[in-house]
Amino acid sequence: MSNAGLRRKLGRAFLLQAGLISAVAALGVYVAGVVLEEVLVKQALRDEANYFWHQKMGDASFPMPDTRNLTGYLYSVADGDASLSPELRGYQPGFHKQSSQADYSVLYVTERGGLRLLLVFDGENVSKLAFYFGLVPLAGVLMMLYMGAWVAYRQSRRAVSPIITLAREVHRLDPEHPDSDAFKPQHFADDPNQEVMVLAEALHRFALRINEFVERERAFTRDASHELRSPLTVIEIAANMLLTEQELGHAARNSVLRIKRSATDMEELVDVFLLLARESEQGLSQDPVCVNEIVAEEIGRSSTLLKDKPVEVRFTADVKLTVMASEKVLSVLIGNLIRNAFSYTDQGTVEIHVGEGCVRIEDSGVGMPKQDVEQVFKPFFQGQSRRRGGFGVGLTIVKRLSERFNWPVSIDSKPEVGTKVVVEFPGAASTSLQRPA
């Protein structure tokens, strides 16, 4: 694309230049013809006519003009022009163009003392002179200009060829496996342009830095995955061992179950964070996931946030919504939204509804002013009405996941009224649920 685009632009520029040269040349030829006929030929005929009448008044026998290019005819107006050849009859005083004659042939008629003078200028020789001394040199100049433009075009193409090559290599650059050797300045050592060498050197350094960033990202995700999962695995194993103890009380068993569930949640969060740190979703499972089940699970996990609050949770569904996604990712996204609704609702209701292609979470909590809604997805942002613990990253994670997987999220909120969040799932499959009569 870069190759064709840049060269096409150069070709258009030089074609435009050649067209302008041709237009100016044609205009120059036209103006020269007008000047030659209107100024030189006609003025010469006026001078010849005036000279003839002046001489005729002093000498009645003064001969008529008769040269190779100029012929004169004199007749009495009273007698008429019957003595003239048919092609010269019927002309009134003034300049006339004879269509049968050469380009610059002009007939000039003047009248004095009852006599009428016709001067016929034969422009054939003038046309030949204009051709040989005007058009031929002009054609030669145009050919030289066109050849110069063509040479300049070829030189320009050679000058931009290294840039086109660099553009092609940039277009082929794979961020996952960047090839810095393609931008080595040595590949362009035969190019005399210092700018190309500077650009190649800059791109080479840039590709090397991308390589370093990619390697650091891979090392981080690999090490973080191992170092974070190892203690979580230990916690889960220890929790499972505690659960096998027969003497473990009911309250202690519930605490251990909560520890085990939290460790599992942390593993899922680690997977999601590592996913957000990676450039691609490679290694992430994509299976049909029932959104209704995810919502129900997350309501159960987050119910401890309500404690003794007088809050009623309503979960309704019109359809069974199925999304091709990772269950972990979907749990994190919906779980964050449900936990937010539970955390910021002190009384009233939290309604969670699964509809056609979307999930709506609506609460009667503290709400947010408009200026907070516009910034709620920013990292670490906590509005004045929503400072209840946490670090302000939950909705940031939701936003990044929604953009990563094309699940649009919209928020509508009013202070002391509540907040409504809608998550859309384009392309999700919906199955109608039969309602009891």
pLDDT one-digit tens code per residue, 3-38:
456 567 767 777 787 778 777 777 776 666 666 666
Res 295: pLDDT: 94
Can you tell me which residue has the tokens 């107006």? 77
- Token pair listed for 64: 């008529």
HEC profile of 285-339:
CCEEEEHHHHHHHHHHHHHHHCCCCCEEEEEEECEEEEEEECHHHHHHHHHHHHH
pLDDT one-digit tens code per residue, 341-397:
998 898 999 999 999 999 999 999 888 888 888 888 877 666 655 555 444 567 888
Which residue has better confidence, 278 or 113? 113
Res 321: pLDDT: 94
Res 349: pLDDT: 94
Which residue has better confidence, 435 or 263? 263
Give residue 1's pLDDT band: very low, low, confident or very high (50, 70, 90): very low
Instruction: Count Cα neighbours of 365 within 13 Å in the Cβ-side half-sphere.
Output: 28
Res 404: pLDDT: 86
Question: Does position 193 have pLDDT exceeding 70, yes or no?
Answer: no
* Of the listed ranges 58-62, 78-82, 100-104, 311-315, the one predicted with least confidence: 100-104
Give residue 274's pLDDT band: very low, low, confident or very high (50, 70, 90): confident
Question: Does position 100 have pLDDT exceeding 80, yes or no?
Answer: no
Question: Does position 2 have pLDDT exceeding 60, yes or no?
Answer: no
pLDDT one-digit tens code per residue, 130-178:
665 566 666 777 788 778 777 776 776 666 666 667 777 677 776 666 6
DSSP 106-161: EEEEEEETTEEEEEEE--HHHHHHHIIIIIHHHHHHHHHHHHHHHHHHHHHHHHHH
Question: Does position 82 have pLDDT exceeding 60, yes or no?
Answer: yes
Res 3: pLDDT: 47
Which residue has better confidence, 61 or 163? 61
Question: Does position 209 have pLDDT exceeding 70, yes or no?
Answer: yes
Cα 2 to Cα 224: distance, rounded to the nearest angstrom: 40
pLDDT one-digit tens code per residue, 214-223:
777 777 777 7
CA 183 → CA 186, 202, 205, 392, distances in Å? Answer: 8, 9, 9, 43
* Backbone torsions φ then ψ of 284, nearest 5 degrees: -95, 125
Can you tell me which residue has the tokens 């979960």? 315
Question: Does position 62 have pLDDT exceeding 70, yes or no?
Answer: yes
Question: Does position 430 have pLDDT exceeding 80, yes or no?
Answer: yes
Are 362 and 418 in contact by the 8 Å Cβ rule? The answer is yes
Res 355: pLDDT: 93
Instruction: Work out whether strand 311-317 and strand 348-355 pair parallel, antiparallel, or are unpaired.
Output: parallel
Mean pLDDT estimate for the chain: 78
Are 10 and 153 in contact by the 8 Å Cβ rule? The answer is yes
* Of the listed ranges 11-15, 122-126, 311-315, 405-409, the one predicted with least confidence: 122-126
pLDDT one-digit tens code per residue, 229-245:
788 888 888 888 888 88
Amino acid at 341: A
Which residue has better confidence, 246 or 303? 303
- Which helix (H) or strand (E) segment is 348 a member of? strand 348-355
Using a pLDDT cut of 70, give the percent of the chain over it: 73
Are 153 and 11 in contact by the 8 Å Cβ rule? The answer is yes
Can you tell me which residue has the tokens 């342009």? 193
Cα 117 to Cα 88: distance, rounded to the nearest angstrom: 11
Res 391: pLDDT: 47
pTM over cut 0.85: no
Are 290 and 320 in contact by the 8 Å Cβ rule? The answer is yes
Which residue has better confidence, 30 or 256? 256
Question: Does position 339 have pLDDT exceeding 90, yes or no?
Answer: no
Res 437: pLDDT: 43
pLDDT one-digit tens code per residue, 259-268:
887 787 777 6
- Token pair listed for 87: 């092609």
Res 412: pLDDT: 92
